[in-house]
Chains A and B, each alone.
Chain A
Amino acid sequence: MHMIVCVKQVPDTTEVRIDPVTNTLDRSSAPAIINPYDSHAVEEAVRIKEMHGGKVTVISMGPPNAIEVIKRCIALGADEGYLLSDRAFAGSDTLATSYILSQGIATISRREPVDLILCGKQAIDGDTAQVGPGIARRLGIPQLTYVNHVAGIDPARKEIKVHRKLDDAYEVVVAKLPCLLTVEKEINELSYSSLPNMLRAVRFEPKILTVADLQADLSMMGLKGSPTSVSKIFAPPQRSGGEICSVEQLVEKLLELHSNEKC
């Protein structure tokens, strides 16, 4: 099994500040972290490797300092890492991002054919959940979104069985490999990295892929390849605080609501 996991470097949104003047994210205010969903995707790939053998490759598109999130994945147990980094990629929206990533994956799989691609459900900054499906579509492979459990893999028949999270149930789906999963956080609990993996991670140097390494159409990437235009970004209005009352008052209010509903 050769698995490729797409990982994105995101600002730690628990610490990010919104610039009150421009209303945009002040990215410098927050440390860069790995998109939390993506670390679960890496963890799942590593578990599949432990069960079925194979190799876990991570790929990220981003600025040179995104090397750190790739190292993080090595600590989690990934074997290989690529950073797609080039000025030509800057300003890409989800359409262009998924194009570039699919080209990166295609480049890698020409040397080492890929059986399974994993993405996070969504990125905590962009939040669109479009990149995973975009990659699958471009590579022409099945996509299984919102996966919260991998029920089994049959390498001989090249099949995977997963649970997809729905609103009030889950769906069991079988698909042919190669395919692409986007995963929920509850798919697994992150393991505590082993010391040898930590050591490997600090010494690891990812391979850098630039535009020249991809057989890609320049007009489909960066600002040129991005039809999205941002008209306005703003911070949502502050939620007003709730009412604080005693247990007695609460009971009264509930009874009141209840009797109102009845009539």
Chain B
Amino acid sequence: MPEKFDAIVVGAGVAGLAAAYKMAQGGLSVVVIERGDYPGAKNVMGGVLYRSMMEELIPEFWKEAPLERPVVEQRFWFMDTDSVVSTGYKGQEWAREPYNCFTVFRGQFDQWFARKCTEAGAVIINETVVEECLLENGRVVGVRTNRPEGELYANVVVLADGVNSLLGKQLGFHQEWKPQQVALAVMEELKLPSEVIEDRFNLDPGMGTTIEIFGGGTLGLVGTSFIYTNKEHISIGVGALLSQIRQARVKPYDLLENLKKHPAVRPFIRNAEPVEYYAHLIPEGGYNAIPKLVGNGVLVVGDAAQLVNGIHREGSNLAMTSGRLAAEAVLRAHQIGEFDARSLSQYEEDLRNSFVIDDLKKYKDSSHLFENNTRYFNEYLPATNMALHEMLTVDGTSKKDKQKLIMQRLLRDSSLYSVGKDLYHAWKAMK
């Protein structure tokens, strides 16, 4: 007779581990099934982990978790082919407890988080693929894995199986994601001594910087790039909507190579040795793509539920919060001993009342707006660069004439009306 647990979690990413940790802490018997060799083995993230959502699970985790650098500065670059307009914020309060966010390596962080789950009483099974959910009378009662005697039963199954979520699809919770609902991101770890990183990024020892890059790096595709500092590595990556990558027939790796050659990027990564290369999908469908989240005996969390805020490169925090809220709903259902969709629906309600759905709703039209109107990436970012170039290049032209020139160039290809309209739409999508 196969073993029965209170809960099965599919996937040991941050969403699954958050759910498992909370449920195990609440006294439930929990098994996590992960297809990788170990938790974190297959998980890709640029590397910014947000303190507040992790702390809701493990207070003061930064005292023991393997972290790279607390982020004390966030820079934003608006890039053209060989220039950049930059802005940012650096604050000492981010260099102190309780911090704002950290760079991390998921390979290390997830293993640590998994150990915390084990200590709380959860059982983690690696190298095992869940092939399908077991259904009885329209409710999920367990899972079947790819191993001999591979069935397991539970009152609840939490699907934390990441962006592809074949299991959610099997249950009919969502369709195959459309190419405009996922971004393909590639990134590299480049090795450099920590003092060199601190010099180049103007950092106190141990502190970190992030740079989010719009335009330039993505060859006109809708997407973003990033550069993050770790202890002895720089993470550099670029992502763009799958639909656009296909349409433009570019190889994702070429996007990254192009970014690395950009004159604003090059000095930061000079002589750095590439040590790892990753490629991974990011859900970018946003609010409109959120699948069904709750069924009889089943809940969906994290990337599997498309919970990513692409504009702010937040994913791990939405994953953790959704995992935690799902666990809380399961704990309540456990008390009344009922696990149908109605008893578990508290999860969806809590999620809607949290920042997760609020934020996704706020940006629900943004990536479509940028996808459908390539002027934002192809014209306005270069235009901003051009404008500053003109204003700051001292060549004897009066400032008044320069402003005139900038306006003329800005309006060469579009009318004042359409520029104004685009800006208004962008403001509405982001506000």
Task: Give A residues with C-beta under 8 Å from B.
Answer: 191-196, 198-199, 202-203
Contact = CB atoms under 8 A, between A and B. Distances in A.
B125 A192 contact: no
A104 to B, nearest CB: 28
B150 A195 contact: yes
Contacts of A194: 147-150
A198 B31 CA distance: 12
A195 B149 contact: yes
A14 to B, nearest CB: 14
B5 to A, nearest CB: 10
Contacts of B136: none
A195 B128 contact: yes
B151 interface: yes
Contact of B3 (A191, A193, A196): A196
A193 B123 CA distance: 17
For A194, A195, A198, the residue with the greatest tally of chain B CB atoms inside 10 Å of its CB is A195
18 contacts: A192-B147, A193-B148, A194-B147, A194-B149, A194-B150, A195-B2, A195-B125, A195-B145, A195-B152, A196-B149, A198-B128, A198-B147, A199-B3, A199-B31, A199-B123, A199-B125, A202-B125, A203-B123
Contacts of B151: 195
A195 B123 CA distance: 12
Interface in B370-401: none
Contacts of A202: 123-125
Interface in B110-161: 123-125, 128, 145, 147-152
A195 B144 CA distance: 10
A194 B148 CA distance: 5
Contact of B148 (A192, A199, A203): A192
A76 to B, nearest CB: 12
A204 B83 CA distance: 59
Report the 6 A-B pairs with minimum CB-CB distance, sorted nearest first: A194-B148, A195-B147, A194-B149, A195-B150, A198-B125, A195-B149
Could you say which interface size class chain B belongs to? 10 to 19
Interface in B1-54: 2-3, 31
Nearest to A201: B125
Contacts of B31: 199
B276 to A, nearest CB: 13
Nearest to B152: A195
Interface in B152-175: 152
Nearest to B148: A194
A196 B128 CA distance: 12
B64 to A, nearest CB: 19
Contacts of A203: 123
Contacts of A196: 2-3, 149
A203 B2 CA distance: 16
Contacts of B2: 195-196
A194 B150 CA distance: 7
Nearest to A196: B149
Given A191-B148, A195-B151, A196-B149, 14 more contacts: A193-B148, A194-B148, A194-B149, A195-B125, A195-B128, A195-B145, A195-B150, A195-B152, A198-B128, A199-B31, A199-B123, A199-B125, A202-B123, A203-B123
A203 B121 CA distance: 10
A159 B128 CA distance: 39
A202 B151 CA distance: 17
A200 to B, nearest CB: 10
A257 B123 CA distance: 63
A176 B72 CA distance: 71
B291 to A, nearest CB: 28
A104 B152 CA distance: 37
Nearest to B151: A195
Contacts of B148: 191-195
Contacts of A198: 125, 128, 147
B352 to A, nearest CB: 36
A192 B152 CA distance: 17
A55 to B, nearest CB: 20
Contacts of B125: 195, 198-199, 202
Nearest to B123: A202
B191 to A, nearest CB: 14
A192 B128 CA distance: 10
A77 to B, nearest CB: 11
A202 B117 CA distance: 13
A199 B124 CA distance: 8
A75 to B, nearest CB: 9
A202 B3 CA distance: 14
Interface string B89-124: 000000000000000000000000000000000011
**A192, A196, A198: which has the most chain B beta carbons within 10 Å?**
A198
Interface string B341-379: 000000000000000000000000000000000000000
A195 B8 CA distance: 14
A191 B147 CA distance: 10
A196 B150 CA distance: 8
Contacts of A191: 148
B118 to A, nearest CB: 8
Most A C-beta atoms less than 10 A away, residue of B145, B147, B151: B147
A203 B148 CA distance: 19
A191 B149 CA distance: 13
Given A199-B3, A199-B31, A193 B147 contact: yes
A258 to B, nearest CB: 46
A192 B147 CA distance: 7
A191 to B, nearest CB: 8
Contacts of B3: 196, 199
Contacts of B150: 194-195
A74 to B, nearest CB: 13
A191 B123 CA distance: 22
Nearest to B124: A202
A199 B154 CA distance: 15
Nearest to B37: A31
B7 to A, nearest CB: 15
B217 to A, nearest CB: 32
A196 B149 CA distance: 7
Contacts of B124: 202
A185 B150 CA distance: 27
- Which of B123, B125, B152 has its CB near the most chain A CB atoms (within 10 A)? B125
